Amino acid sequence: MNWDSLTDALLLSYREQGGTNHLGGAALPSQATVNGLALSFMHLLFPGYFERTCEDSENPADCIRRNLRTLGIGLEDELGKCLRHAGRDPAEAAPLIRQLLEALPTIRRLLRTDVEAAYIGDPAARSYEEIILAYPCILAISLQRVAHLLYEQEVPLLPRMLTEYAHRQTGIDIHPGATIGSHFFIDHGTGVVIGETTTIGSHVKLYQGVTLGAKSFKTDASGKIIKGIKRHPDIGDHVTIYAGATILGGETQVGSNCIIGSNVWLMQSIPDDSIAYYKGENLVVRSRRAREEAEESSSS
């Protein structure tokens, strides 16, 4: 084996096509390090869960301070790489990190509502501890809420790397750009996809295999996809979307208090208090109130 010729061929490939780690250029953030940061966030958001991070005899405040410092140092390095990659000053990292860490108590309050929603919404749930330790949606939602703040700060690379770590671990793919209200629960979770410009209200419950996606991709005069436009649906408050449902399009709005049945394919808006389901091969969208009133009259 001629190792020198193989090395020369790869170096030529890197020069012509770009290196996987920007050889000769700014280093990209490390996926392994970002994975560690994801776990550090989980330790601080749910102290005492997942892994032991403090000695039993250690003062809790000292433990939290140490974990915060470790996370801050790691973020400074990786966030600096992200900013440098985008042509920005790495010195911007410090205020961005401070803003993120200061937001952790607010994120924890939101996550508390998500755990409550899981407990109320799943009759199999026996405790909050079981939900935090065993339900995949908690990892996915927690890291998305952290990543969403970074996304709003216009930090490149890092938000998506955090949510993709959760995606690999759970099978739940939530883009950091999605805006999600309180009391959000994803039951079972596998195969859920939530696109970048999706908005989700409060008290929303999804089941496995739900897609909140784009209907089509607009292109410019040269045929290139136009980025940064609204592509994904809006979901109102108190909505339940059952397994396998697909809701597409930036103009599609699902009103509050709606139920979307399993395997429904929806590319049209539906008003508040609606239920959408298939009857044979036909999509039926009807008022929940009318159905409830009919059921009440038939039982009386």
State which H helix or E strand residue 74 sits in.
Answer: helix 60-85
pLDDT confidence bin for 283, thresholds 50/70/90: very high
Is the torsion defined by CA of 217, 219, 225, 227 positive or negative? negative
Looking at residue 64, its pLDDT comes to: 86
* Rounded Cα distance, 265 and 140, in Å: 24
Q: Are 30 and 161 contained in the same domain?
A: yes
Report which DSSP code applies to 260: E
Domain ends where: 171, 202, 221?
A: 171
Q: Does the residue 151 lie in any domain?
A: yes
CATH of the domain at 130: 1.10.3130.10
Quick check: is 9 in a domain?
Answer: no
Q: Let me know whether 28 and 158 are in one domain.
A: yes
196/106 same-domain check? no
Q: Which two tokens stand for residue 237?
A: 């408050």
Q: Which residue range forms the structural domain that includes residue 259?
A: 191-300
Q: Are residues 69 and 199 in the same domain?
A: no
Residue 23 confidence (pLDDT): 62
Q: Is 5 a residue whose pLDDT tops 80?
A: yes
**For residue range 196-255, what is the model confidence (pLDDT) as tens digits?**
999 999 999 999 999 999 998 878 888 788 888 999 999 999 999 999 999 999 999 999
The pLDDT of residue 296 is 59
Shared domain for 152 and 288, answered yes or no, is no
Domain count, the chain: 2
29 & 89 share domain: yes
pLDDT given for residue 14 in this prediction: 79
Residues 50 and 140 in one domain: yes
Mean pLDDT of the chain: 91
Within a domain: residue 35? yes
Residue 178 covered by a domain: no
Decide: 41 and 143 in contact? Cβ < 8 Å: yes
Give the mean model confidence (pLDDT) for residues 113-139: 97
Asked if the structure places residue 203 within a domain, the reply is: yes
Q: Are residues 163 and 196 in the same domain?
A: no
Asked, for residue 167, whether it belongs to a domain, the answer is: yes
What does the pLDDT read at residue 246? 98
Give me the pLDDT at residue 72, please: 95
- Average pLDDT score over residue span 141-155: 98
In this structure, the answer to whether residues 161 and 255 fall within a common structural domain is no
Helix (DSSP H) and strand (DSSP E) numbers for the chain: 9, 15
Note the pLDDT tens digit of each residue in 20-73: 556 655 688 999 999 999 999 999 999 888 765 565 556 778 888 888 999 999
Amino acid at 38: A
Three-class SS of residue 247? strand
Tell me, yes or no, whether 296 lies in a domain. Answer: yes
Query: Does residue 95 sit within a domain?
Result: yes
**Domain match, 39 and 110 both:** yes
Give the per-residue pLDDT at 289: 78
The last residue of a domain, from among 171, 205, 236: 171
Percentage above 90 pLDDT, the chain: 74
pLDDT at 55: 58
> What pLDDT sits at residue 220?
81
What CATH number is given to the structural domain containing 286?
2.160.10.10
Same domain? 148 vs 31:
yes
pLDDT of residue 11: 81
Same domain? For 162 and 205 the reply is: no
